[in-house]
Amino acid sequence: MRAVVVTQPGAPEVMAMADVPDPAIGRGEVLLRVRATAVNRADIMQRRGLYPPPPGVSDVLGLEAVGEVVDIAPGTDTTLRIGDRVMCLVGGGAYAELLAVPACNCMPIPDGMSWTDAAAIPEVFITAYQGLVRLGGLCAGDVALVHSVASGVGTAAAQICRAIGARCIGTSRSPGRAAAGEPYGAEPLVVGGDGFAPAVQEMTGAHGADVILDLVGAKYLHDNVACLARGGRIVLTGLVGGRRAELDMGALLAAQGTIAASTLRGRSTEEKALIMGEFAHWAMPLFEDGVLSPVIDRVVAMDDVVAAHAHVEADAVVGKVVMRVD
């Protein structure tokens, strides 16, 4: 099969298409003919040599894919059948024509949804759902603060807030990117040199944020704590703004606040299956009714992976960059 290989850690140009062996499947797994995948920040970090795949996982990039089931390993306990259209989460290997994936980590694609639309769902929507709902306990009437609102996770999170009936404030350092969340229900907040906590307190009448979904990390920790509502929850899902910061534990105690952290890649097959099952039960009817929808910045062929990564790294993307596997 053809797949994207990384010749050495570095810039996008270190990636190339190459012929590699087809993946083998074992009990509990299915083989997908991949129709589309999508670019994630984790792929970029791995390409740079900063985020190696978990032990035993393919070193081919790619954490999500959509495709058709073309084989099922003997003894696999699954309701999937040959020809089923599914989306999936994996620890790696999705930038390829074929992909071995645990059957329990696959979800059906809603009827009528295109391959490219479906490819923009798994990683970002499940990350947002895990952060806001499972860990954040977001409820109708709550205030959610979503950082990097123009990102794939950010645009997904804004829609989830709207579906629940929660208020969403979406941040970015750019006015244009802060406004990118408005079509999905987010109120824009531009992060300036004086931080964002005073603005959040002003926008909420000094209530603060009940749930903060943070893709940034260290750079935002102080202000996150400073704008927490009483009993508020900070959920960390990314570290693009650094991994080390000083925490004012007194301020966190005063807010009766909590900090949780979550990623999907390092979770076990069983953990992913549980999260995906809950997400599918909650979200798939909303996709079918048009309440939730994938947000796609552009669709390119997988052969154009170098340009796709360069575009994501330019921080101009709203939503997802999807790659067709032709």
Contact 101, 88 (CB under 8 A): yes
| Same-domain status, 26 and 131 | no
Per-residue CA distances from 248 to 14, 223, 255 (Å): 42, 10, 11
| Same-domain status, 115 and 151 | no
In-domain check, residue 215: yes
Of 201, 44, 231, 64, the residue nearest 137 (C-alpha): 231
Separation between Cα atoms, residue 9 and residue 152, nearest integer Å = 25
Question: pLDDT tens for residues 86-109?
Answer: 999 999 999 999 999 999 999 999
What domain count does the chain have? 2
In-domain check, residue 273: no
| Same-domain status, 236 and 308 | no
| Same-domain status, 233 and 135 | yes
What pLDDT is stored for residue 194 in this prediction? 86
- Please name the helix (run of DSSP H) or strand (run of DSSP E) that holds residue 173, with its range, or none: none
Of 109, 88, 91, the residue nearest 31 (C-alpha): 88
Question: pLDDT tens for residues 180-237?
Answer: 999 999 999 999 888 999 999 999 999 999 999 999 999 999 999 999 999 999 999 9
| Same-domain status, 255 and 149 | yes
Is pTM beyond 0.95 here? yes
In-domain check, residue 278: no
CATH number of 40's domain: 3.90.180.10
Domain coverage including residue 235: 124-261
CATH number of 221's domain: 3.40.50.720
3-state SS string for 91-141: CCCCCECEEEEEHHHEEECCCCCCHHHHHCCHHHHHHHHHHHHHHCCCCCC
